[in-house]
Homo-oligomer: A and B are copies of this chain.
Amino acid sequence: MDSINIKELAQKLNLSKSTISRAFRDHNDISSKTKERILAFAKELNYQPNHHASNLRAQKSKNIAVIVPEITNNFFSQAIDGIEKVASEKGYHVLIYLTSDCFEKEVSYVNDLYNGRADGIIMSVSGDATDQTYLNKLREKKMPLVFFDRGYDTVPTAKVTTNDYEISFEATTHLIKSGCRNIIYLMVNENLSIFKNRFQGYIDALKKFNINYNDEMLVYCGHNFDENYTAINKAFVKLRPDGVFASVERLAFATYYICNDLKLSIPKQVKVISFSSLEIAPLLNPPLTTITQPAFEMGVQAATLLFKKLLKKTDNPDEQIMLNSKIIIRSSTTG
């Protein structure tokens, strides 16, 4: 970066550094004439106040960090979209960190942010945390933190979540009312509260309708497609379920592939419902019934919460926002 600096600019204009600075800081004690002259000349020379110098003085970066498990996932990319919209409106910049659900990466990314690179963090955590409390030092450092969707219960901070329990109860009820009596549940991570809530909604709905449940119906899945395929396939062969509740989008996709391979018809033989932010769910074969979270809006709310904390415009730094997901019924559970 070959840049001119404030000193050189001052010399060329026969002014002092302070006057230049004032022109950029929108100070009132500067004549509008000189101000305009400065700004015009600066523009011509492509001068801009050096970010590091300004921020060293001001002790802020105007950056926010967004830490998420993955980006090639409709939920997260939509959420990031929402975050970026708010941030750019406020003149802030967005740093992206992808953990691939690896806890070590998550920790290392967060630790890398203590040096002033970012003023705050928006995060959806990896589920494999061994020590969730490492985030508590953020609080000591007065670095604002907002969770969205996936947070740690042990870390008190602002959160944006959805009505996972209720909507899962409702989704399971929908499957039952559509005739399912043998519904398997595809789980990704039982440590995170959102997944606990989803599962509990399922369990309680089964209970309400007096439908038998046993542990085999809970299928543990992971991040790898092949593993998931094997696990779900095994459950299919053994249990012959007539309904599938996928707690996460990609497990529904795996289920579709498996049903194809096993020549099982969705929805005739198996009904499938899934948490999913896939916009083209109507174009799948068959169209997938989804529990759709307001991903974009969650991003907007999370960013809004963060800025409230950042700009000290709140007296409740641990504000909790819960938004409603909605079930969109399509052919994968009807007919």
A residues 44-97 touching B (CB-CB < 8 Å): 46, 48-56, 59-61, 63, 70-74, 77-78, 80-81, 84-85, 88, 93-97
- Complex interface: stretch among A7-15, A32-40, A110-118, A316-324: A110-118
Contact with B along A141-160 (1 / 0, CB 8 A): 11100000000000000000
Contact with B along A255-292 (1 / 0, CB 8 A): 01100000000000000000000011011111100000
Q: Does chain B have a CB within 8 A of A253?
A: yes
Q: Does chain B have a CB within 8 A of A18?
A: no
Interchain nearest-CB distance for A235 vs B (Å): 20
Given A1-B142, A3-B141, A52-B52, is A96 in contact with B80 using a C-beta cutoff of 8 Å? yes
Q: Does chain B have a CB within 8 A of A140?
A: yes
The answer to whether B71 and A61 touch across the interface, beta carbons within 8 angstroms, is no
Chain copies in complex? 2
Interchain nearest-CB distance for A229 vs B (Å): 14
Counting contact residues on chain A (CB < 8 A from B), the size range is 35 or more
Nearest B-chain residue to A253, judged by Cβ: B280
A232 to B304, CA, bound (A): 38
A280 to B48, CA, bound (A): 46
Q: Which of B52, B93, B97, B283 contacts A285 (CB 8 A)?
A: B283
Q: Does chain B have a CB within 8 A of A315?
A: no
Q: Does chain B have a CB within 8 A of A98?
A: yes
The answer to whether A81 and B77 touch across the interface, beta carbons within 8 angstroms, is no
What residues of chain B lie closer than 8 Å to A52, measured between beta carbons? Answer: 52-53, 55-56, 61, 116
The answer to whether B253 and A283 touch across the interface, beta carbons within 8 angstroms, is yes
Given A1-B116, A56-B56, is A94 in contact with B96 using a C-beta cutoff of 8 Å? yes
Interchain nearest-CB distance for A76 vs B (Å): 8
A74 to B278, CA, bound (A): 11
The answer to whether B56 and A50 touch across the interface, beta carbons within 8 angstroms, is yes
Q: Does chain B have a CB within 8 A of A312?
A: no
Given A71-B80, A71-B84, A141-B46, is A51 in contact with B115 using a C-beta cutoff of 8 Å? yes
Q: Does chain B have a CB within 8 A of A2?
A: yes
The answer to whether B88 and A81 touch across the interface, beta carbons within 8 angstroms, is no
Given A95-B94, A257-B283, A286-B285, is A49 in contact with B115 using a C-beta cutoff of 8 Å? yes
What residues of chain B lie closer than 8 Å to A51, measured between beta carbons? Answer: 61, 115-117
A59 to B50, CA, bound (A): 9
4 cross-chain pairs, A with B, having the tightest CB-CB distances, nearest first? A285-B285, A52-B56, A48-B115, A51-B115
